[in-house]
Amino acid sequence: MSEIKFHPYIDGLIQYAFANPTTPMWKLSTAEVRKTRNEMIAKMMGPGEEVRRVKELRVPVEGGEINLRLYYPIDEPDLPIFMWFHGGGWVVGNLDTHDSPCRALANRCRACVASVDYRLAPEYKFPVAVYDCLTATRWVAENAVSLGLDAGRIALGGDSAGGGLVFAVALLARDQGGPVLQKLLSVYPSTDITSFERESFRKYWDKVILSGPVCDYYRKEYLKGPEDAANPLASPLLAEDLSSLPPTLIITAEHDVLTSEGEAMAEALKEAGVDTTYSCYPGMIHLFYGMGELTEAENGLAETGRWYRK
């Protein structure tokens, strides 16, 4: 790993992880995977900052209900809405693992962040997560007045698997009657799960915390079958038409298996005429966005705030 120049703090995390190997995820039960991975994510994210208030809700979806957590940065009427779809390979992650970045986004963007606890694989295979996120977005829009929010100003955001869900939901909203979306934020997104042949996967396959084998485990748990990988709702980079999507900010980390996918998505959106901003943070790895210990994490959040309010 000496040829890769990690940020000193990141290098310490990686050295610790490789010096203290854990049981491979595919040898654990789903419950064990979630417990260990969720604890790791929450610890890396760190404690969240204060917001004005937090509201817990339940949203009806096909076949049940899911949790929704609203973060209000200020007490003002008609706040804009920023939906958030957490990462975790569609298998792990929840409202608590991503509590810290949601709080920070609410404060930086001066918007109400609505974090969606979509149902996870393998209990709920593709495309359940996609439609849970779409349903939650429509529910918030339909109930905006009672929530003190502005249904005319809705943005979507997410990281990793959630970053891919952002594009899947945006495509469905564009093609299936809304809601109208104003902006998209996608942080080190998963945009093409048909293969692991892109440059960043080859370079960082076994050198970073989010490894190639881990991504392969997530993909197998998420999809009903290999043929699902080519569906644009699972691999939005493969969508035939990316035009007419709202202005988009894509943030990636230099040392991440998903970097090439994020960069390719940014290029595809620009070719489709979408107003797209792309930022790759040097020395960083997956999950850096929201890590309270890092100046670069704050820089990413600050960039998001400036872009969102522009």
pLDDT tens string 59-75: 999 999 999 999 999 99
Q: Which of 7, 98, 255, 286 is an active site residue?
A: 286
Going by C-beta distance under 8 Å and a sequence separation of 6 or more, which residues neighbour residue 15?
A: none
- What does each C-alpha distance from 282 to 51, 108, 110, 210 come to in angstroms? 29, 22, 27, 17
Domain annotation covers residue 3: no
Confirm whether 7 is a catalytic residue.
Answer: no
Domain assignment present for residue 164? The answer is: yes
Which amino acid is present at 239? Answer: A
Q: Which of 17-26, 66-75, 132-141, 210-219 has the lowest mean pLDDT?
A: 17-26
Catalytic residue among 160, 190, 200, 260: 160
CATH code for the domain in which residue 134 is found: 3.40.50.1820
d(CA 42, CA 54): 18
Is residue 86 part of the annotated active site? The answer reads no
Instruction: Give the residue among 183, 166, 176, 158 at the shortest CA–CA distance from 80.
Output: 183
Residues facing residue 176 across a β-bridge: none
Taking the CB of residue 13, how many other CB atoms lie within 10 A of it?
19
Supply the range of the domain harboring residue 277. 8-309
pLDDT of 245 = 98
Residue 212 lies in a domain: yes
Can you tell me the distance from the alpha carbon of 244 to that of 272, in angstroms, rounded to the nearest whole number?
Answer: 8
Q: Is residue 1 part of a domain?
A: no
In a domain, 214, yes or no: yes
Domain assignment present for 2? no
How sure is the predictor about 293, in pLDDT bands with cuts at 50, 70 and 90? Answer: confident
Identity (one letter) of the amino acid at 201?
A: F
Residue with tokens 């990988």: 229
Catalytic residue list contains 78 = no
Res. 5 pLDDT band, cuts 50 70 90: confident
**226-271, pLDDT tens digit by residue?**
999 999 999 999 999 999 999 999 999 999 999 999 999 999 999 9
The tally of domains found in the chain comes to 1
Residue 173 above 50 pLDDT? yes
Q: Return d(Cα 174, Cα 170) in angstroms, integer.
A: 6
Per DSSP, the chain holds a count of helices (H) and strands (E) of 10, 8
| Contact of 41 with 72, CB cutoff 8 Å | no
Tens of pLDDT, residue by residue over 177-234, are 999 999 999 999 999 999 999 999 999 999 888 999 999 999 999 999 999 999 999 9
Selecting among 117, 159, 228, 256, the annotated active-site residue is: 256
Burial 43-69 (b: 16+ CB within 10 A, else e): ebbbebeebeebeebebebeeeebebb
Contacts of 177-180 spanning 24+ positions with Cβ under 8 A: 178/138, 178/141, 179/137, 179/138, 179/141, 179/151, 179/154, 180/152, 180/154
Strands of 53-61's sheet in order across: 53-61, 64-72, 112-117, 79-85, 149-159, 183-187, 248-255, 276-285
Backbone φ and ψ of 204, nearest 5°: -115, 20
pTM for this model (two decimals): 0.96
Name residue, tokens 């790791």: 40
- Residue 281 pLDDT exceeds 60: yes
